Amino acid sequence: MPGTLGALLSGLRHDSAFWRRALTAGVTRGPEPWVRHSPPVFGVFFAAALPEVRRRVEQNLRRVRGPRSRVADMLDSAAVFATYGSCLTEALLLASGRGYTVARRSRGVEHYRACAAAGRGVIIVTAHTGGWDIAGQILGVVHPEGVMLAMQRERDAEARAIQDAARQRAGVQVVHIGDGPLDALPLLNHLRRGGVVAMQIDRVPPGMRSREVAFLGARWRAPEGPIALAAISGAPILPVFTHRLGFLEYEAVVSPAIWLPRRATEEERDRAAAAMMGAMERFLRAHPTQWFHFTGEGPVEPAGRRENKRRED
């Protein structure tokens, strides 16, 4: 019985295959009013049903925009989950074959054009924000060599397969990293062909090296992957973050590129990590309810606190 209950609760998680299959069926056969208006409702349902995840979201909101009233926390948290539901649905809708297209806006696109003109490929660093799963599809239309999305494997293998299939139908190649030291080889080869590699920096995959940087008033871990890849390939790092404006309408905010020499020093790597996380912080300050950071990752604990915890354990 406990095993059956655990399986049921696992299947009801926001990232489970059950919900991905339900969403896929809905966007494939559902009428437009349903696919347009129901996802925010399901998102708010998840906010109510998952108190631990909701607590993490509220913590993130306080880090981004400072302390506010309990009511404001609840409303902003609901907005995060509602937007997440809409973005997830619209990513599947674009790959459904029903003829839907995305309306896109961009700020700072000149930074992307300057990077592409250098002919070394482009390393886009992004985060789990509104429309991040659609950004690769948008860029794949304008970049002839295509987009390769590097990401950590999701917890649910079946849910991952559903989402990866939708990305591939939209022309986005997916490479899962964090399993071994050779994971980066396809990314490096893609860059050498002049392609675009997109990597998320708001989470550090298991086994990936990281650097401590100042972020949201604390010390956080920035993944080493984009920095190492830039130093090896010579490709620039380009921070690009997206947010949802409305139904199938998104804006991409492009920051100035970060260039690293082939033999970058530790200080140069630290500056690159600080620059890419600084770009993300500026974006989140402007769009606090568009960050889908549902995991337990947070600020790095001070050394003294970590030592005390080890003694307690």
Give the integer Cα–Cα distance in Å for 119 and 133: 25
Give the integer Cα–Cα distance in Å for 130 and 266: 33
Which has the minimum average pLDDT: 6-15, 56-65, 143-152, 165-174? 6-15
Tokens 């429309």 -> residue: 131
CA distances 53 to 47, 78, 104, Å, are 8, 12, 30
pLDDT tens digits along 222-238: 999 999 999 999 999 99
| CB 191 within 8 Å of CB 233 | yes
Give the closest residue to 23 by CA, choosing from 80, 86, 81.
86
Helices (H), the chain: 2-11, 17-29, 32-49, 51-65, 70-94, 109-117, 132-142, 157-169, 185-192, 225-233, 266-286, 303-312
Cα Rg of the chain (Å, integer)? 19
More confident residue, 254 or 302: 254
pLDDT tens digits along 89-102: 888 888 788 888 88
Q: Give the model's pLDDT for residue 265.
A: 96
pLDDT tens digits along 242-281: 999 999 999 989 999 999 998 899 999 999 999 999 999 9
